[in-house]
Structure 1
Amino acid sequence: MNNARHVFEPLTIGPLTLRNRIIKSATNEGMAPQGIPSRQLVKLHAALAEGGVGMTTLAYCSVSPDGRTLPGQIVLDASTVPHLRALTDAVHRHGAAASAQITHGGCFTFLRERSTPRPLSSSGGFNKVGLMSGMWRKQAMTEADMTQVIGQFVQGAELARAAGFDAVELHMGHGYLLSQFISPLYNRRRDSYGGSLENRLRFPLRVLRAVLEAVGNDLAVICKYSITDGVRGGNTAQDGAAIARLLEAAGAHLLVLSAGMNVESITTMFGSSFPKENRVKAGNPLIGMAMALQRLKEPEVVFRELYLLEHARKVRAAVKLPLAYLGGVSSLEGIERAMAEGFDAVAMGRGLICQPDFVNRLSQGLARHSGCTACNRCVAMMYTPGGTSCVLGPAGDPVLNAQPAAG
């Protein structure tokens, strides 16, 4: 497309300049046994960097032990910094940037051991996620809780900087804690943190401003959020545009435009249904049950490229800050179309899991389409000994996945 900015041009976001416009989006890797980043995790992100991405994103780095959704997730603390430094050094050797997705799960957690009697959330009461783990109740965050969690996000961002990351991505979507404030599906508060969209954004914006103040001169500060919750009673794409305006006003350097919720609307997130039969089974029975329930409750959805474009356009029309389109990019034509629509970058998940060298293949004229079939089986591979991989290729190495990155 003649009016598309070229995918291989540099992109500046805050203090960071990327070598091109393709970002590996955060996709849970299953490569941190006991919460320690593994050599397999380093190998994965090094391969993505060597394969040509402008930036690769390490998924779900929790800002506290309570913020994890599952065992085996990274907690940003002093003990993980040397292992994370091994990852960022490997990424930098291949000329790419590294981003750490920092977040807190709130009531979206399957871990019973925590410092509070019940999982924290925007509002208290019945916890539908807890039906699978016995934590049927959640507790509304107090001002003291918010202050503590803001401090944890700041500390997490500072540790990410110490570990050599070039960016941090605040996860404000998919039903995690910050999303639980933003979405009316979860936020039923009657104080200054509930009701209007501006009130529901008040706590997430406090987190964003604090992180920007702490590391924004050194790191790109990115926000990933759900443009639409994808379910009745949740935020719509019009709300998503209004959210973007508030994040822009607060100073975010880049928005990654996702959609959907982990519990209520996972097909909105992935743009296609999960297979009724899978080549792998989740080792955690709770996760297996959750996946089975998702297959039962949601209608069959057939994948189409750029499945979130109609929603993302509303955000592009509303703000001027850099935006990364996410949602079903699987070809050079799709990338160019997204850029012709005014998006500054594209974020890819499944396509790069399938082919970590896809960007190089595009730049060398060796490919125009990803080999990804959007079967979604890579999601369940996270629970295998080798971690996330494409079922069409070799599985992850369970030996490397058992070895600490800095060991």
Structure 2
Amino acid sequence: MNDELDRAYSPWTLGPLSLRNRFIKSATNEGNAPGGTPTKALVRHHRSMAAGGVGMTTVAYCAVCPDGKTFEDQVMLGADSRPHLRALTDAVHAEGAAACAQITHGGAFTFLRQLSTPSPVSASGGINPPGFLSGRLFKHAASQDELRSLRVQFVRGAREAREAGFDAVEIHMGHGYLLSQFLSPAYNRRTDEFGGSAERRARFPREVLSDVLDAVGASMAVTCKISIFEGMRGGGTVEEAIVTARSMSDAGAHLIVNSAGMNVESPWHIFGSEMPPGIGGENASALMRAGNRMLKWQEPRIEFREMYLLEASRQIRAAVRTPLAYLGGVTSVEGIRTAMSEGFDAIVMGRALIHRPDLLMAFRSGELSKSGCNHCNSCIAAMYSASGTRCVLTSPEDFEANRIPAATPSAPQ
């Protein structure tokens, strides 16, 4: 079994990118961009992951346009954020790791106070389930002109990420954001070429992927993240996710990252455990607080187990030849060995690394064989705090670092 562990820690090639190992820090919303400006806290977060030994760290939710943000305090790729993101990528590179920008658009899942359209864009129009948390109760179907514009925005976002020093982009096609709204049978009721069968629902996300690959794929790794099941009534199944994975594989994705669940309807499937109270923090609207209560009523009894997405991910692994990353509760040396022995090409980790950024080094040295993360998910609620995402067990709050723009020169020592 040491062969599997050695393979995980060995260098590998992801598209045009060479990585020092097969470990990727997952995109976990950091809450470190108040007003949309990346801060010193965001740099510190990702530098710590790089110093701790990952091959690549992923900056969560970089919007491709103003309407694409889900919250006001999120990064949008562009000239304003570029110097701050460059400070982050420089810091990550200095620690020997690569940096990936997760590029996405929220579609109907948005809490923005202002949009350029009367209602948020989605695959189809009508009642907007996420809007019951934000007050945006209706959504509209993307027109042909909007679809063309959205493709351009994703390409522009990828190019902006490259200008900011990122080595890779992850196109988010899961969790209920815009591209996942096209993939989801619960959201996509279109009758044109972008709706109907699973193959047709995958068409627009595939076009986005193809455009991004054409634009930056020779110089950057281009990956995509999908929900392999949605876990909601009328939502996508593993069988439909196989169709999506094959479509993205045929389009040339350098890596597919498996995840699961939806942010609003079934967030517990994303994390494989119960959600914490207080999502949205002290600034949560009355609607969001009511939504939290409704979610807790609907939430099934679910206890964390290591490798909680393995059974479903095996089916994707058997269906595609494209490199595939395992995400879903790797918390031990044995979990790493299992993922490698199951034929996955990379391992994506989140909460265990937030708990201890140098966990991989501790595993490799033999200091630890299992993470100390207890999967309380309080790090998720902390995203909405003034200091941003942190492990409440191991990291103190630091409000000051989350007030200072990332590119601000450091004071002389």
| 159-168 or 366-375, which deviates more | 366-375
Structure 2 CA distance for aligned equivalents of residues 74 and 185 of structure 1? 28
Structure 2 CA distance for aligned equivalents of residues 360 and 287 of structure 1? 39
Q: Is the 8 A contact 1:386 1:395 kept in 2?
A: no
SS of residue matched to 2:8 = coil
Structure 1 CA distance for aligned equivalents of residues 394 and 152 of structure 2? 41
Q: What is the CA distance between 1:290 and its match in structure 2?
A: 3.2
| 1:8 corresponds to | 9
Q: Is the 8 A contact 1:254 1:324 kept in 2?
A: yes
Q: What is the CA distance between 1:2 and its match in structure 2?
A: 5.2
SS of residue matched to 2:159 = helix
Asked if 1:399 corresponds to 2:391, the answer is no
| 2:247 corresponds to | 246
C-alpha offsets along residues 122-162 of structure 1, whole Å, 9 cap, x if unaligned?
00011111122221110000110011111110000000000
| 1:216 corresponds to | 217
Residues 195/305 of structure 1: CA separation in 2 closer, same or farther (3 Å cut): same
TM-score by structure 2 length? Answer: 0.96
Stretches of structure 2 lacking an aligned partner (at least 5 in a row) = 409-413
| 1:44 corresponds to | 45
Q: What is the CA distance between 1:294 and its match in structure 2?
A: 1.7
Q: Is the 8 A contact 1:26 1:59 kept in 2?
A: yes
TM-score by structure 1 length? Answer: 0.97
Residues 289/88 of structure 1: CA separation in 2 closer, same or farther (3 Å cut): farther
| 255-264 or 387-396, which deviates more | 387-396
Amino acid across the alignment from 1:291: N
Structure 1 CA distance for aligned equivalents of residues 172 and 279 of structure 2? 29
| 1:66 corresponds to | 67
Structure 2 CA distance for aligned equivalents of residues 74 and 122 of structure 1? 23
Structure 2 CA distance for aligned equivalents of residues 211 and 44 of structure 1? 27
Structure 1 CA distance for aligned equivalents of residues 255 and 291 of structure 2? 32
Asked if 1:290 corresponds to 2:303, the answer is no
Structure 2 CA distance for aligned equivalents of residues 382 and 368 of structure 1? 28
Amino acid across the alignment from 2:27: A
Structure 2 CA distance for aligned equivalents of residues 352 and 299 of structure 1? 26
C-alpha offsets along residues 226-278 of structure 1, whole Å, 9 cap, x if unaligned?
01111232111111122111100000000110011112211111101124x56
CA RMSD for the aligned pairs? 1.4
Residues 347/261 of structure 1: CA separation in 2 closer, same or farther (3 Å cut): same
SS of residue matched to 1:4 = helix
Amino acid across the alignment from 2:172: H
Q: What is the CA distance between 1:327 and its match in structure 2?
A: 0.4
What is the aligned-residue identity percentage? 55
Q: Is the 8 A contact 2:326 2:346 kept in 1?
A: yes
Asked if 1:377 corresponds to 2:360, the answer is no
| 2:305 corresponds to | 304
Asked if 1:266 corresponds to 2:267, the answer is yes
Amino acid across the alignment from 1:137: F
Residues 297/151 of structure 1: CA separation in 2 closer, same or farther (3 Å cut): same
Amino acid across the alignment from 1:8: Y
| 1:317 corresponds to | 318
| 1:172 corresponds to | 173
Q: Is the 8 A contact 2:167 2:220 kept in 1?
A: yes
